Amino acid sequence: MKSKNWFLKGVNRGIETERFPLSPPDEVAAWSGGIAGKGNANCPTDAITNNKWDAEKCIYCRRCFPNYKPTGNLARTEPKKSHGQFKKSFFIYPFDFGTCGACNVELRALSYPQYDLNRLGIFFTNTPRHADAIVIMGVFTPKMRDAFLLAYDAMPEPKTVIALGVCAITGGVIGKNPDHVSVIDIPGCPPNPYAILDALIRVRK
């Protein structure tokens, strides 16, 4: 997203917040969505095999360029389960296993005027006791297991788990994550804010 363009569009429109998901995204950064192409990928995470791209492994290092190029489409995975009971309001609790910081920044961006997730009934909470969903980020390590289980157990029912970023989904460049129980994986490194919003909306349907 070119912030200058977004600012000018906001000034012309008289309102800063985008209409997404009612309208398509104003602008998706090229290297944050799908990737397609042919040939040798030289991919460090095996995100491309037999010319097929796996969003859940891609760290967007661009080593596959120019054989593979961004498509401009949002990278999405389907929810394994939907939670219609969160339609009216949805409180999310970020849980950091040890990120590089970028996933946190993109998640936090949803509360800025450009995206304004509160207009969709989605809110951050800083305690698992008020959370409907725990959003895990970073590579899962055994030493964080107890802290995670404590937070998860403190959440009221019904509750759900969302994995944000390839570190949380597959371990990214570090390696394979232990199995977890996420209902939706939001691919990206870091995920695009539109992709995060899109996933948060779909998991509540």
Residues binding ligand SF4 (CB under 6 A): 35, 41, 43, 45, 47-48, 53, 58-64, 68, 99-100, 102-103, 137-138, 165-167, 172, 189-190
- Residue nearer to ligand SF4 on the CB measure, 61 or 154: 61
Locus of tokens 């995204």: 25
Nearer to ligand SF4, 135 or 167 (CB): 167
Instruction: Quote the least distance from Cβ 13 to ligand SF4, whole Å.
Output: 31
| Minimum distance, C-beta of residue 157 to ligand SF4, in the bound complex (Å) | 29
Which C-beta is closer to ligand SF4: that of 25 or that of 190? Answer: 190
Question: How would DSSP label each residue in the chain?
Answer: --HHHHHHHHHHHT--S--TTSS--S---GGGS-EEE-S----TT--EETTEE-TTT-----TTTTTEEE-SSPP----SS--GGGSS-EEEEEEESS--SHHHHHHHHTTSTTT-GGGGTEEE-SSGGG-SEEEEES---GGGHHHHHHHHHHSPSS-EEEEESHHHHH-TTT-PPPP---SEEE-SSSPPHHHHHHHHHHTT-
Q: Which is nearer to ligand SF4, 128 or 188 (CB)?
A: 188
Nearest distance in Å: CB 202, ligand SF4? 20
Q: Which amino acid is at 110?
A: L
Shortest reach from residue 164's CB to ligand SF4, in Å: 7
The distance of closest approach from Cβ of residue 74 to ligand SF4 in the complex, given in angstroms and rounded to an integer, is 16
Cβ proximity to ligand SF4: between 85 and 141 the closer is 141
